Structure 1
Amino acid sequence: MSAAREQVLADLRERIAALSGGTAKRVGCLSFGVPEIDAVLPGGGLAYGALHEFAGGGSGTVDGSAAALFAAGVAARTKGQIVWCLTRPDLFMPALAQAGLHPKRVVFVEGDKEEDVLASMEECLSYGGLGAVVGELVRLPMTASRRLQLAPEKTGTMAVAVRRWRRQTEANDFGQPTASTTRWRVSVLPSEDLPVPGVGRARWLLELMRSRAGECAEFEIGACDDKGRIHLSPGSGDRSNTSRRSLYSA
């Protein structure tokens, strides 16, 4: 069975289960606090108890720094401890703290293989009581994404997959269908100008590439502040229905 057909069947099964009352009860959404963004998301934000994918774009496709910072900002605004699963322990923690995610809230789980990351994510999502479970992944097969989508439905924990590739060619995998509720791409833009000389606040191009029961859109936003919040850049508008800084240490 092709991946595209499997995706269609998976969505159909979920809709049928919802009509028959067979799915777990949703526990709400995490609002961005930006009306233009929340308006295009079903429920007005990122759904808890669901899987969300973030990937870097442009020059940050491989290192995924902007995507990881965006994920950190999302995790920072949830309540409870955060589990971050990875195979390469090279995250720069002060950068996560600048995005609102305090080190004391984060438990790192390191694995030798991506299979370990997937298993750790599923176990933590099934445990419950966590704000979010983040996993850095090169590949996210349909079967694995389905497990990561189903596991948090019972606990209400948010699942976040940060797609981080080792080389540019691997990024083609991001076009393959998965069971994630939303899929985002975050690209670095020139920073905002300040009224005085200095380095302005970082800006991102935030693309909502897939939203189940919603529409695609893109926004120019200011990067996460120390509370994990973002804002719409001046002059940026919602462009619905459309399709560089390093976070990691050497």
Structure 2
Amino acid sequence: MTEPNRAHVLDTLREAVATTAGSAVAALAFGIDDVDRRLGANGMDGAGLHEITAASPTLGDDAAATLFVAGLAARFAAAAGAHVAWALTRFDLYAPGLEQAGLPAAKLLYLQGQNDTMALALAEDSLREGSFAAVVTEVKSADRTATRRLQLAAADGRTPMLLLRRWARSRRDPLESPSAAMTRWRIGCAPSARLPAPGVGRACWSVELVRQRNGHPFSLVLEACDDTGRLALPAAPRHRAAAAGGAASQAA
């Protein structure tokens, strides 16, 4: 067997082992039947790589994708009772926004690298260390080799890896490139449900699962994360009216 073929076989075997090891870790369910029943693991694999990107390079969609990641990390942290490592190249996160998605600063350890390569290396080391509830890394570039390493490290450390793919100046969709991720998500802003009275309702997101192992892609419109990191299906109009009426009667 030639050396390139040997390397390919070894990489394939490692990926298979990583997938098997990841399946032994409890998946994090969304608590939304329309989502969980469509996921191959009935939730987010707790020892796998998950990629998330904004639906477009706009600030609104970028914020939605970041808060989606923060909500997932918050729920992994609550389930494990541990901290979240967040690796980045530029410290531009808005802490109050993350806290509104359930992820307070007290639960975060920030790791800043000089470039994407260093941020990915920090994430890999954090995964293999195995003491974090989840590891988040935001980069503009990560090739298949980098994602394969993260998937293997997530399985070795039995820790979920949330890779936030930022749009680069080229404006190419970050999910165009091949990846070893278990799931790949695209998150964008969606119109909020109309309220029965004037006011600001809960934000809504378009949540698209672009690819997953052992399952099919799908897309839904969901209400944004609450202060525990949970998403929700938009309430039916009559339920929103009833809730508003109940709040008015309590105020009276």
With normalisation by structure 1, the TM-score equals 0.83
Write the mapping of 1:75-94 to structure 2, written as runs, cut at 5 A: 75-78=73-76, 79=80, 80-94=82-96
Gaps of 5+ in 2: 1-7, 237-252
Q: Which amino acid aligns with 2:69?
A: A
Give the aligned partner of residue 207 of structure 1: 208
Distance in 2, Cα, partners of 1:97 & 1:61? 19
Task: Return 5+ residue gaps in structure 1 as ranges.
Answer: 1-7, 236-250
Q: Choose which of 93, 96, 99 in structure 1 pairs with 2:98.
A: 96
Q: How does 1:1-250 map to 2 (within 5 A)?
A: 13=13, 17=17, 23=21, 26-58=24-56, 60=58, 64-78=62-76, 79=80, 80-167=82-169, 169-234=170-235
Distance in 1 between residues matched to 2:135 and 2:84, nearest whole Å:
6
Maintained 8 Å contact 2:15/2:148: no
Instruction: Please give the alpha-carbon distance, in whole angstroms, between the structure 2 residues aligned to 1:129 and 1:75.
Output: 14
Distance 2:12 2:116 in 1: 29
What stretches of structure 1 move > 6 A for 4+ residues in a row? 8-11
1:30 is displaced (CA, Å) by 0.4
Instruction: Label 1:61 to 1:161 Cα distance change in 2 as closer, same or farther (>3 A).
Output: farther
C-alpha RMSD of matched pairs (Å)? 2.4
Equivalent pair of 1:60/1:187 in contact (CA under 8 Å): no
How many residues matched? 225
Percent identity over paired residues = 38
Which residue is 2:3 aligned to? none
1:11 Cα deviation (Å)? 9.2
Larger proportion of helix: 2
Change (3 A) 1:58 1:194: same
Q: How far apart are residue 190 of structure 1 and its match? A: 1.3
CA contact (8 A) 1:64 1:163 kept: no
Q: Deviations over 1:132-175 (max 9, x none)?
A: 100001011000000000001122111000011243x3433421
Task: State the TM-score, normalizing by the size of structure 2.
Answer: 0.82
Q: Cα distance, 1:65 vs. partner?
A: 1.2
